[in-house]
Structure 1
Amino acid sequence: MNNLSWLQPQDSNEVSTEVQELQHEAREYLANSKSSNTKRAYGSDWKQFEEWCASHAFASLPAEPDTLVYYITMLGKTKKASTIKRKMATVSQRHETAGYKSPTKTPLVRGVWEGLQRKIGIKEEGREAIWLYELRQVIKELPHGKLIGVRNRALLVIGWAGALRRSELVGLHIEDISKTRDGLIIHLNQSKTDQKGEGHDVALPFGSNPLTCPVRSFEDWISAAGITEGPVFRRIDRHENVMGGLTAQSVRLIVKKCCEEVGLDPKRYGAHSLRSGFCSQAARAGKAEHQIMKQTRHKRSDSLQRYIKKANLFEDNAASGIGL
């Protein structure tokens, strides 16, 4: 049974053509209720659960609470808490969509899940933040006079100043950017926290340092590359020909390589380092939480707190000024 089966009529002859058309449209809306990345992850998670259940002669739908307990106990040997939580959410969604009670909500599963989290920990291991001084170091080492250096500078600065996710960077088109007397305005048509396409406008003011000015870096890149429409950030071949748009994976690799060039451990940095770097730097500079959230588009303040806490570790620290 798939997660759209409840919209499938038992006998198409029992309903009118109009209702059948409405069912078809409703199924399309249900299919679009999650992002493509989320659907891929959920689909993979469910397939793994089905296969595990089959290999142990357990029913997967509906699954008994005991079955899920054994499954998450097995996962706890190798997986992080966040991964297990997502897999549990997949099982829960499948059951509820199919009209069954979710086993994840039973006291047994909740109790085992609590104990498992205590054992393996729930700390999220994110990428290191790229602070502003590190961003300047990276940009200084970019190959000057080469198109790839101009592109990478614009990619890094705009990604950092706009606190953009890699999917937002690769989805950025010239048509989404407008210039004003105060700087650039980027219109994000859709993002991780805006799957319905409401859109967000992100302002990038002129920078006081030409090296890290978002406006100058953007204008230098589109002028050098001759881009007048379509994707802003694009691939470049070894002959400096400008190709199609970058992929999200390409952004991750570019950030890692640029960090490695200045001696930063590439294993600790990635595309998210730009976004977390902005959050951390803004917090240390004393920017209010609501100001940071306006730029980052965070929906909840608790998602932002880990950056703020880390940035302020040395602020009013008890070990400072006591004669060490």
Structure 2
Amino acid sequence: MEAKEHLLNSKAENTKRAYTSDWSHFEKWCYSHSLESLPADPQTLAYYITSLGKEKKASTIKRRMAAISQRHKTKGYPSPCKTPLVKGVWEGLQRKIGVEEKGKEALWLHELREVIEALPKDKLIGIRNRALLVIGWVGAFRRSELVGINIEDISITRDGIIIHLNRSKTDQKGEGQDVALPFASNPLTCPVRSFEDWITASRLKDGPLFRRMDRHGNIMERLTPPAVRMVVKNSCEAVGLDPQRYSAHSLRSGFCSQAARAGKAEHQIMKQTRHKRSDSLQRYIKKASLFDDNAASGIGL
């Protein structure tokens, strides 16, 4: 009973922290748009969740709505989430996000090589994008994790590089996770070489590893998650792939699918991807193994 109670308390604390963070985000958003956060007008909330729909998952938006609803109830106000307007907008967003998430393709290794090969090797932005794409793919990083990497979080060893994540989606307590990226036989898709090439070319010593660049090639501030999505889309389009079919998540799903097709054990893939539950990984494994022992193969077609 004590263990169960401790687990429930732990989950409650995690939820409380998430709600506090979500409400803070909504408050800041309202302030930046000169709108009232408490009580919030249904039109304000509809506007807010629509803006979130451009880059957030449905589960994230749902949690933020729950946080907003709870804060209103705590302060004695009716929840704007229950109004017909917000309900209608939310239902539409769920359909839109569901279709988009379902439609994104995994970026397979041969496609990654094509994309990397097409990058301008003599330009700083090409060197940065190669490092971003290769490290993102081999490390199976979420886009938020990728842009959160600092140079001082990276250690070079005889076997490859180790990237320390200070915080990630599956590490809500902030204990940190280490992700190992080994040397690759192909220099084109080697995460260590791409990292070293970017550091040498950019002359960066510390701070954000991946940064925005202006049209003159000057290195600016930390790259944002939406910017990673655009790098992936634009790079795919450059080699003839439909940019509407790919996103930042294509790097992570591409690694999962390729590793599964190569016969890597589930626990090995989960170690690299930091998945906490195997069912989250199953959709990649299932898709990657569709042609394994296929009944239509070897029957004389």
> Counterpart in 2 of 1:300?
277
Q: Distance in 2 between matches of 1:202 and 1:83?
A: 27
- 1:218-267, CA deviations, whole angstroms, 9 ceiling, x for partnerless residues? 00001100011000011222322221111111111011000000000001
Q: Secondary structure at the match of 2:258?
A: helix
Question: Counterpart in 1 of 2:128?
Answer: 151
Is the counterpart of residue 163 in structure 1 residue 140 in structure 2? yes
| Structure 1 position 251 matched with structure 2 position 236 | no
Instruction: Please tell me whether Structure 1 or Structure 2 has the larger radius of gyration of its CA atoms.
Output: 1
Give 3-state SS (helix, strand or coil) of 2:290's partner. coil
**Aligned-residue RMSD, C-alpha:** 3.7
Q: Does 1:216 align with 2:199?
A: no
Secondary structure of 1:198's partner? coil
Label 1:43 to 1:95 Cα distance change in 2 as closer, same or farther (>3 A): farther
CA distance in 2, matches of 1:309, 1:86: 28
Counterparts of 2:174 and 2:211, CA distance in 1: 23
Classify 1:84/1:142 alpha carbon distance in 2 versus 1 (closer, same or farther; 3 Å): closer
Deviation at 1:195, TM superposition (A): 2.0
- Are the aligned partners of 1:42 and 1:90 in contact in 2 as well (CA < 8 Å)? no
| Matched residue SS, 1:125 | helix
How far apart in 1 are the matches of 2:225 and 2:20? 15
1:134 to 2:111 alignment: yes
Q: Is the 8 A contact 1:185 1:204 kept in 2?
A: yes
SS at match of 2:209: coil
How far did residue 192 of structure 1 move? 1.5
1:172 is the counterpart of 2:149: yes
Are residues 134 and 93 of structure 1, via their aligned partners in 2, closer, same or farther at CA, if it must alter by over 3 Å?
Answer: same
Q: For residue 20 of structure 1, what is the aligned residue in structure 2?
A: none
Q: Secondary structure at the match of 2:125?
A: helix
Residue 32 of structure 1 deviates from its aligned partner by 3.1
Change over 3 Å in CA distance of 1:315–1:42 after alignment to 2: farther
Which residue of the other structure, out of 32, 35, 40, is the alignment partner of 2:17? Answer: 32
Instruction: Summarize the alignment of residues 94-243 of structure 1 with structure 2, pairs less than 5 Å apart.
Output: 94=69, 98=74, 125-243=102-220
Distance 1:155 1:257 in 2: 13
What does residue range 304-323 of structure 1 map to in structure 2 within 5 Å? 304-323=281-300
Distance 2:165 2:112 in 1: 23
- Distance in structure 1 (CA, Å) of the matches to 2:67 and 2:21: 19
CA contact (8 A) 1:42 1:87 kept: no
Residues 194 and 145 (structure 1 numbering): CA distance in 2 closer, same or farther, change over 3 Å? Answer: same
The 1:200–1:42 alpha-carbon spacing in structure 2 relative to 1, beyond 3 Å, is: farther
Distance apart, 1:323 and its partner CA: 1.5
- Mapped contact 2:151–2:205 kept (Cα < 8 A): yes
Q: Aligned partner of 2:122: which letter?
A: G
Question: 3-state SS of the aligned residue for 2:102?
Answer: coil
Task: Determine if contact 2:163/2:180 at 8 Å carries over to the other structure.
Answer: yes
Shift of 1:209: 0.2
| C-alpha distance in 2 between matches for 1:226 and 1:217 | 14
Q: Given the two structures, how large is their TM-score scaled by the length of structure 2?
A: 0.73
Match of 2:264 in 1: 287
- Asked if the contact 2:183–2:190 (Cα under 8 Å) also holds between the matched residues in 1, the reply is yes
What amino acid maps onto 2:18 in structure 1? S
* Partner SS, residue 105 of structure 2: coil
Percent identity over the alignment is 66
What secondary structure, in the 3-state scheme, does the structure 1 residue paired with 2:181 have?
strand
Using the alignment, how far apart are the partners of 1:179 and 1:237 within structure 2? 29
Amino acid at match of 2:148: G
1:251 and 1:271 in contact (8 A); partners too? yes
Assess if the C-alpha contact under 8 Å between 1:35 and 1:195 holds in 2.
no
SS of 2:112's partner is: helix
Q: Find 1:269's aligned residue among 231, 246, 258.
A: 246
- Structure 1 residue 273 displacement after superposition: 0.4
SS in 2 for 1:215: helix
Corresponding residue for residue 111 of structure 1: none
TM-score by length of 1: 0.68
Please, which runs of 5 or more residues in structure 1 have no aligned partner? 1-27, 55-81, 100-115
